[in-house]
Structure 1
Amino acid sequence: MRSERVGGAVTWGLLGAWAVHDLEELATVPWWLRRNVPELRKRFPRVPEGVWRWAESMGAAEFAAAVGVMGAVVGTASAAGQLTGGRSGFYQGALTGFGLHGLMHMAQAAAVRGYTPGSVTAPLVVVPFTLWARGRLRKAGVLRPARPRDAVAGLAAAGAATVASHLVARRLLRPARRPS
């Protein structure tokens, strides 16, 4: 493999693709949840009730704050990628997690047989960007070999970052307690 330079389109492109995708989610998640959770609760009775209660309790401000927290994570991953010429394990893991996240959106839309937030940009932006960026990393000779455990780790990290961003958002938006 010949070694080529990995440019900002590959590394900072992760942040850009993520921003496009999350703009769709920002515009659709709050109303979509209000409209669809009651029906989803009936169609998918095996989903724990706590998941449905959490989804119903999430407001637009909390979701926007969680997106901001996740943006900081993705921005940090992109910066790590830029600083290392794409070699950063954190960057490559975030890229893998982002692509798998896109596939999850597509699977969700298939499961509900309709639109779900993120399902438009997943096949148009998320998956194509991920494949293109991985191709550029491979061409530059810096892509780590793909292993099933890396895919699992990427999905787990993306899931953990999502949960953490929502927990931070709830904490940030919780009314301050006044001393009694």
Structure 2
Amino acid sequence: MVPSAVTWGLLAAWAVHDVEELATMARWTRSARPQLEERLPWVPWERLEVSQRHVNVAVGLMGGVMAGASALGARTGGRSPVFQAALLGFGAHGVMHLAQAAVTRGYTPGAVTAPVVVIPFSVWAWRRLRAEGVPVRTGAAAWAGLAALPILLAGIHAAAHTLTRPRTRPRRPASAPRPAP
């Protein structure tokens, strides 16, 4: 039997990591943008700057995804392909944070918890799954799950953008006549 520390631990480790992102992402994108534009001029930085409201919604949406994946993992004893894809993606996400920090030559949101929470938890969870005899997906199945990560993240951010963009309604001037019923 796979311990719940493996399956629900994914959600807990994600929550610890995303508290860091929640606290730093919006402010960091604003303050780091001039330096990043100078260092990496080909990146469309104006599209990557996010408001705190956007970050809050994106983190909440991703929390739903991670809760669902963890629940599937708990229900199937870690055998769920969705759980295993989420676990693989979470670990890869941690490595990406370290790569981002290296490319930008400094702190990026998530870089503190990536090496102390994300990557160690992912490695430990995979080892526990194997130790419990859980068949783990490798090869094409693992790559397919990993390939879904950028699509999922783009979808989450697109949804957050849609949900947080200002709503504008055409306003009727105060002097304009009301339409007849």
TM-score, normalization by structure 1:
0.88
Q: Which structure is higher in RCO with an 8 Å CA cutoff and minimum separation 6?
A: 1
Moved more, 149-158 or 33-42: 149-158
Kindly provide the amino acid, as one letter, of the partner of residue 10 in structure 1: V
Q: Is the 8 A contact 1:106 1:122 kept in 2?
A: yes
Residue of structure 2 in register with 1:130 after alignment = 122
- Aligned-partner Cα distance in 2 for 1:116–1:27: 12
Q: Which runs of 5+ in 2 are unaligned?
A: 172-181
Residue of structure 1 in register with 2:25 after alignment = 29
Q: CA deviation at 1:159?
A: 1.4
Residue 18 (1) aligns with residue 14 (2)? yes
- SS of alignment partner, residue 8 of structure 2: helix
TM-score, normalization by structure 2:
0.88
Q: Is the 8 A contact 1:101 1:155 kept in 2?
A: no
Q: CA deviation at 1:178?
A: 4.2
Change (3 A) 1:176 1:112: closer
Kindly provide the amino acid, as one letter, of the partner of residue 117 in structure 2: V
- SS of alignment partner, residue 63 of structure 2: helix
- Aligned-partner Cα distance in 1 for 2:28–2:94: 18
Residue 38 (1) aligns with residue 30 (2)? no
Residue 115 (1) aligns with residue 107 (2)? yes
RMSD across aligned positions (CA): 1.6
Q: Is the 8 A contact 1:37 1:55 kept in 2?
A: no
From 148, 163, 166, the counterpart of 1:157: 148
Change (3 A) 1:143 1:122: farther
Q: CA deviation at 1:99?
A: 0.1
Change (3 A) 1:10 1:63: same
From 59, 63, 76, the counterpart of 2:55: 63
Aligned residues: 171
Kindly report structure 1 stretches of 4+ aligned residues shifted beyond 6 Å. Answer: none
Identity value in percent: 53
Kindly provide the amino acid, as one letter, of the partner of residue 170 in structure 1: H
- Aligned-partner Cα distance in 1 for 2:63–2:6: 17
From 145, 148, 158, the counterpart of 1:167: 158
